[in-house]
Amino acid sequence: MIEVNERIDVPSSSREVWKVLSDPHAVVECVPGASLGELQEDGYYDAGLLVKFGPAKITFNARFMLELDEPALSGAVTSRGKDNQGGTRIHATMNFRVVDQEGGAGSSILIDSNVEVSGRLSSVVESGASLVVGRMTREFTERLVARLAAGSAG
Amino acid sequence: MKVYQRMARAFKAEGVTATFGMMGDGNMYWLHELHKLGGVKVHEVRHEGAGLGMADGWARTTQKVGVATATCGPGTTQLATALVTAARAASPLVAFCGEFPTNDDEYTQRLDQSIFATACEAGFVRLGSADAADDVVRKAFYLAKTQRRPILLSVPMDLQQKEWDDDEPYKPSATLFTPGVVYPDQQALERAADLIAKSKKPVIIVGRGAQWSGAGEAVLKLGERVGAIIATTLLAKTFLNECEYHAGISGLYATRGALGLLQDADCVIGIGASLNRYTTEHGYLYANARYVQIDSKPHVIMSGVRAADCYLQADAKVGAEALEKLLAGRSFKSVGYRTPDVKSRLVRHWGDTTEFPLDPDTVDPREVCLLLDEIMPPHVGMLSGSGMASGISNMMMVKRRTLMQGGHFFGCIGQMLPAAMGAVAATGQPAMLLEGDASVMMHLAEFETAVRYNMPLLVVVMNNQALGAEYYKLDVKKMDVNTAVVNTPDLGKVAVAMGGKGAIVHHMDDLAKAAKEWVANPGPMIIDVRISRTIMSVPYRRIHYGRDD
């Protein structure tokens, strides 16, 4: 089990941040290697995710659901996926909340998530995967900040 | 004549020229008879398990049945780890083990050796009556050869002392069967050729099966015809690397440059290679490839309970030749993966240029590998141990040698020193073993055995004064790495105290001097190389840190 507890500070208001995070298309664009498919009847989206683990590239076919609580500016993402070799499964849950920064114009995104990897690669990636998840979180943050900056500039 | 005398003669008649083990009262009469008969070199070792490890090294090197021996009960249980290792290495072995007397159920050294053998993945043959002495030896050797695994021949002490009065000559196991060559089925051959002919980027992976069958020339010809890159398994390291389209080891021991090419392969042709999780990186290395697998077994499944798209049951050499001939008959010839661009990407792709600071008075293990590869001529064999440091030598030592062996069969440490001794005993040629400090310490007593038999073996200890694998795994989890630090004494001095030669290395100059001294006069020697813990092998960086080195 990989746990990620992140606080991402962004120079945009909580409303602006919320607008991005509540739009699955926008979120997926911020996740490196991710692509968004159709929304299914059960409320799950189809998605694809290419993860680079060391020199290996692993493609996951995933499904995820986004539950939003607008008054609280919070949400939850539940996802599960299987790689295209059929050997590795991931199961992830992520809770996020956007809060205004005290005495500032910016806001903070509080994220806590659990990622579980099982199957063939689990023993190999046990320790390294948390570093990969950390790297992906950083890349997500960079893209999100860039998107917000572009949005406010426009 | 006694039964033990007859059994000693039977072993000799099987063509045995060396045994490895420890004398105890369960095997001493048999050993005594072997000494008396002459023509069999009896190696008296310091630990039964190490003795079996030497017989395993002998078998891996000669492809003949290796012979180990242990006394009953406690002598036999010492064989455990070595038995499983030999079974995983597919080494044909016979272990002559004493067994407690059939007429004494309360004997202190009693043990159900049948259950023990089964748990250790070994076959089991027991002498149940004195009359069967010939039969059990013949059966044990037959099973060792046909099943390619260790067979524990369990011989109760009291039965060994019974009279044998049959003077018929012993019929060796070779009279039971003649090993044949497996020829491919024509339809399967056509399917394999169809699949390969569609490929633009084929990769041939050769394993020990290809080496054993002498498939080298055939593979090179096939590779040329279909335009394939050639890669090996760890165990066939450097095989066929005279080919300019050779990519080294397939899997995480591959260099960054080679990995990029392997990842783009559209067809993998495994020849005498099991295509296990390490070779294919659980299949992820060849995500877009179709597989052709040539092996002499009826069928083999690859990593992850998957089967090749086309399985061709055949001897590696015969199969590769037949495939090449069929494609030639169809006038098929493809540039495939043999383009100038690919060639340039494979030239000098071995470098690991990531810089690390060095701990004081230590050397860079990568430089150690490069220097030894350069200094040691090709007739000096090379055996690579287990643990973190072997990840460095497995990648960086690329000189083609008359003997090259890797380990990792059971993932255990400590087993390569005995195996190296067995290999040297088999060939009589000088060899070096690159091994970690914890591994060498485990069977250090056997260095004295190497001294006693004056083996031309150089043990290079890649000494980071730690349980290396654990050290880095703890580091990744931000735990206290010092719990994995275990200091050793100066192993060069220990070697000298045991009657061999020795040196300790804190600087590269020390290493060059010691290595050259050994090459000039190879004998039993330990070079204790103090390596910096700051440097991790490339596979470790990839697996544990997700780095793309």
| SS3 category, B106 | coil
Query: Are B287 and B413 within one domain?
Result: no
Q: Looking at the 3D structure of chain A, how many domains does it have?
A: 1
B473 near A CB under 8 A: yes
Give the per-residue pLDDT at B153.
98
Q: Are B25 and B61 found together in one domain?
A: yes
Q: Measure A59 CA to nearest chain B CA, in Å.
A: 9
| Cβ-defined contact of A56 to B545 (cutoff 8 Å) | no
Question: Residue B68: in which H helix or E strand, if any?
Answer: strand B66-70
Picking from B260, B476, B547, the nearest residue to A127 by CB comes out as B476
DSSP A40: P
For B548, which of A55, A86, A121 is closest by C-beta distance?
A55
Is B180 a domain residue? no
- C-alpha to C-alpha distance for B326 and B76, rounded to whole angstroms: 51
B287 to A85: CB separation less than 8 angstroms, yes or no:
yes
Chain A within 8 Å of B548 (Cβ-Cβ)?
yes
DSSP H or E stretch at residue A115: strand A107-119
What is the per-residue pLDDT across A17-72, written as a single tens digit (0 to 9) for each? 999 999 999 988 888 889 999 999 999 999 998 888 777 778 889 999 999 999 99
Domain co-membership, B112 together with B258: no
Chain B residues touching residue A87 (CB < 8 angstroms): 282-283, 304
**Taking CB atoms and an 8 Å cut-off, how many pairs form between chains A and B?**
65
pTM: 0.91
Q: Which of B367, B406, B120, B107 is nearest to B253 (CA)?
A: B406
CB contact under 8 A, A131 and B542: no
Residues 6+ apart with CB under 8 A from B455: B421, B424, B425, B523, B524
Q: Of B175, B201, B221, which marks where a domain is finished?
A: B175
User: Of B260, B284, B473, which has the smallest distance from its Cβ to A58's Cβ?
Assistant: B284
In this structure, are residues B327 and B197 in contact, taking their beta carbons and an 8 Å threshold?
yes
Closest residue, chain A, to B281 (C-alpha): A56
Q: What ipTM was assigned to the predicted interfaces of this complex?
A: 0.73
CB within 8 Å: B282 and A87: yes
Which residues does chain B have within 8 Å of residue A125's beta carbon, measured at their own beta carbons? 543, 546
> Alpha helices, DSSP H only, in B364-453?
365-375, 390-396, 416-427, 437-442, 445-452
Q: Could you say which of B304, B541, B549 has the minimum Cβ distance to residue A120?
A: B304
Q: Do B287 and A132 touch (CB under 8 A)?
A: no
- Beta-bridge mates of residue B457: B431
Q: Which residues of B touch A88 (CB under 8 A)?
A: 282
- Is B181 contained in some domain? no
Interface of B with A in 262-291 (CB under 8 A): 263, 277, 281-285, 287
Q: Give the residue from B71, B20, B62 showing the smallest Cα distance to B41.
A: B20
**Same domain for B148 and B234?**
no
Q: Nearest by CB to A128, which of B277, B303, B545?
A: B545
Residue B456 lies in a domain: yes
Q: Which of B543, B548, B549 sits opposite A124 (nearest CB)?
A: B543
Rounded-to-integer distance, Cα B50 and Cα B446, Å: 7
* Last residue in a domain, options B346, B375, B402: B346
Same domain, B427 and B340: no
Q: Is B8 in the same domain as B92?
A: yes
Residues 6+ apart with CB under 8 A from A79: A47, A62, A63, A64, A65, A90, A91, A92, A93
CA distance B251 to A65: 36
Kindly state whether residues B153 and B226 are assigned to the same domain. no
Angle at B14 (CA atoms; ends B10, B19), nearest 5 degrees? 85
Interface with B, mutate which of A3, A50, A58, A120 (most B CBs under 10 A): A120
How many structural domains comprise chain B? 3
Paired residues of B19 in beta bridges = B42
**Which residue in chain B is spatially nearest to A136 when comparing CA positions?**
B546
The residue of chain A nearest to residue B280, with distances taken between CA atoms, is A56
Q: Judge contact between A27 and A46, C-beta under 8 A.
A: no
d(CA B148, CA B452): 30
- Of all residues in chain A, the one with the smallest CA distance to B476 is A127
Which is more confidently placed, A86 or B429? B429
Domain of residue B519, CATH code: 3.40.50.970
Are B539 and B252 within 8 A, CB to CB?
A: yes
**End of a domain among B282, B314, B346?**
B346
Residue of B261, B284, B286 best to disrupt the A interface, most CBs of A under 10 A: B284
> Is residue A121 within 8 angstroms of chain B, CB to CB?
yes
Which CATH number do you get for residue B204?
A: 3.40.50.1220
Domain enclosing residue B220, as ranges: 186-346
Residues B40 and B170 in one domain: yes
DSSP designation for B388: T
| A139 and B CB contact within 8 Å | no
Note whether B542 contacts A128, CB cutoff 8 Å: yes
Query: How far does A154 lie from chain B, in Å, by closest CA?
Result: 37
For residues B256 and B277, what is the distance between their CA atoms, to the nearest angstrom?
A: 19
Q: What is the pLDDT along chain B (549 residues), one digit of tens a residue?
A: 999 999 999 999 999 999 999 999 999 999 999 999 999 999 999 999 999 999 999 999 999 999 999 999 999 999 999 999 999 999 999 999 999 999 999 999 999 999 999 999 999 999 999 999 999 999 999 999 999 999 999 999 999 999 999 889 999 999 999 888 999 999 999 999 999 999 999 999 999 999 999 999 999 999 999 999 999 999 999 999 999 999 999 999 998 889 999 999 999 999 999 999 899 988 889 988 999 999 999 999 998 889 999 999 999 999 999 999 999 999 999 999 999 999 999 986 667 889 999 999 999 999 999 999 999 999 999 999 988 889 999 999 999 999 999 888 999 999 999 999 999 999 999 999 999 999 999 999 999 999 999 999 999 999 999 999 999 989 988 899 999 999 999 999 999 999 999 999 999 999 999 999 999 999 999 999 999 999 999 988 888 887 888
For A108-131, the pLDDT digits (tens) are: 999 888 888 888 776 556 556 777
Residues B192 and B167 in one domain: no
Rounded distance between C-alpha atoms, residue B372 and residue B227, angstroms: 33
B23 plus B125 within the same structural domain: yes
> What pLDDT, on the 0 to 100 scale, is given for residue A154?
45
Strands across the sheet containing A88-100: A2-10, A107-119, A88-100, A74-83, A56-69, A45-53, A34-39
User: What is residue A127's predicted lDDT score, i.e. its pLDDT?
Assistant: 59
The Cα–Cα gap between A72 and B462 comes to 58
State how far residue A108 is from chain B, nearest Cα, in angstroms.
Answer: 27
Residue type, B260: G
Taking the CA of residue B544 and the nearest CA in chain A, the distance in Å comes to 4
List the 197-256 stretch of B: residues with Cβ below 8 A of A. Answer: 252, 256
